[in-house]
A and B are shown apart, each in its own frame.
Chain A
Amino acid sequence: EVQLVESGGGLVQPGGSLRLSCAASGFTFSNYGMNWVRQAPGKGLEWVSYISSSSSTTYYADSVKGRFTISRDNARKSLYLQMNSLRADDTAAYYCARDRGVTGRNWFDPWGQGTLVTVSS
Chain B
Amino acid sequence: QSVLTQPPSVSGAPGQRVTISCTVSSPYIGAGYDVHWYKQLPGTAPKLLIYANINRPSGVPDRFSGSKSDTSASLAITGLQAEDEADYYCQSYDSSLSTWVFGGGTKLTVL
**Residues of chain A at the chain B interface (Cβ within 8 Å):** 35, 37, 44-47, 50, 59, 61-62, 95, 100-101, 103-114
Contacts and interface: CB of A to CB of B under 8 A. Distances in A.
Contacts of A110: 47-48
B101 interface: yes
B89 interface: yes
A27 to B, nearest CB: 15
A114 B34 CA distance: 25
Contacts of A62: 97, 99
A103 B95 CA distance: 9
A60 B13 CA distance: 41
B57 A44 contact: no
Given A61-B99, A108-B46, 13 more contacts: A44-B103, A45-B38, A45-B91, A104-B32, A104-B34, A104-B93, A104-B95, A105-B33, A107-B36, A107-B91, A108-B48, A108-B91, A113-B44
Nearest to A44: B105
Contacts of B38: 45, 108
Interface string B8-44: 0000000000000000000000001110101010001
Contact of B51 (A46, A103, A109, A114): A109
A44 B91 CA distance: 11
B64 interface: no
A45 B105 contact: yes
A45 B66 CA distance: 20
27 contacts: A44-B2, A44-B89, A44-B103, A44-B104, A45-B46, A46-B102, A47-B91, A47-B99, A47-B101, A47-B102, A50-B100, A59-B98, A59-B99, A62-B97, A101-B51, A104-B33, A107-B36, A107-B51, A108-B38, A108-B46, A108-B48, A108-B91, A109-B48, A110-B47, A111-B45, A112-B45, A113-B44
